[in-house]
Amino acid sequence: MREIVFLVAAGIFVTALLGVAAYFLLRARRISRNAWSAMLGRLKQIDRDKFTTVALDLLEEEGVLQEHLDPEMIFEMIGGMKGLDALEANCDVLVDLATYVQQWYPEALLLAEGLRLNAREIKWHIGRLRGAAKTGHMQEQFPMYAQRAVATYYLMTRSLLVLYEGVRLPELAELRHAI
């Protein structure tokens, strides 16, 4: 009886190992084949110009804006929580876009990890805003939180563009258009 139990357990064990290995190897192959178009396809639609304006309002880049945006305008320009939901989803894509470069430039790992940490923190703050929305305090907290999240997202996109441009990847033009 024990032999049978052992053989069944060993069969399940080997099948599970092979299954997990096959799943991840196929996933890796799929990523390397369709990575680029698939990643760009995951980007959610945001109004890039408005997001940039909101970000630069905080980052105070010289000569871009003289007056600061008022909170209502920030809410409107970002598109409320829907805009932040899209930003949250796009953060993951930005991390993957940095990871994509690692196959040629292992040092891109440092940026990918940096973006991963940024994304994690942005998501945490967006989560807080969702909590505030439930208690009816979102309207007052939204502009401060959201503008900083958008500014960080903007810097993440800038970092990616700088990376792609710096290593002269042919995908740069498409990336510029997408983010």
Name the residues that contact other proteins, by CB under 8 A. 2-3, 5-7, 9-10, 13-14, 17-18, 20-21, 24-25, 27-28, 31, 58-59, 96, 99-100, 102-114, 118, 121-122, 125, 128, 141, 144-145, 148-149, 151-152, 155-156, 158-159, 162-163, 166-167
Comparison of 45 and 70: residue with beta carbon closer to other proteins: 70
Minimum distance, C-beta of residue 109 to other proteins, in the bound complex (Å): 5
List, in sequence order, the alpha helices (H) in 60-137. 71-78, 80-101, 108-135
* Contact indicator for 136, 150 with CB cutoff of 8 Å: no
Comparison of 73 and 132: residue with beta carbon closer to other proteins: 132
C-alpha 89, offset from chain centre:
6
Query: For tokens 């357990």, what's the residue?
Result: 9
Minimum distance, C-beta of residue 86 to other proteins, in the bound complex (Å): 19
State the Cα–Cα distance between residues 2 and 48, nearest whole angstrom: 64
Minimum distance, C-beta of residue 29 to other proteins, in the bound complex (Å): 10
State the Cα–Cα distance between residues 160 and 128, nearest whole angstrom: 27
Comparison of 25 and 173: residue with beta carbon closer to other proteins: 25
Minimum distance, C-beta of residue 31 to other proteins, in the bound complex (Å): 8
Comparison of 50 and 148: residue with beta carbon closer to other proteins: 148
State the Cα–Cα distance between residues 120 and 86, nearest whole angstrom: 15
Comparison of 59 and 178: residue with beta carbon closer to other proteins: 59
Minimum distance, C-beta of residue 127 to other proteins, in the bound complex (Å): 11
Comparison of 2 and 45: residue with beta carbon closer to other proteins: 2
Total number of residues shown for the chain = 179
Minimum distance, C-beta of residue 23 to other proteins, in the bound complex (Å): 8
Q: Classify the C-alpha dihedral 152-153-158-164 as positive or negative.
A: positive
How far, in Å, are 73, 88, 135 from residue 145 at the CA level? 14, 13, 16
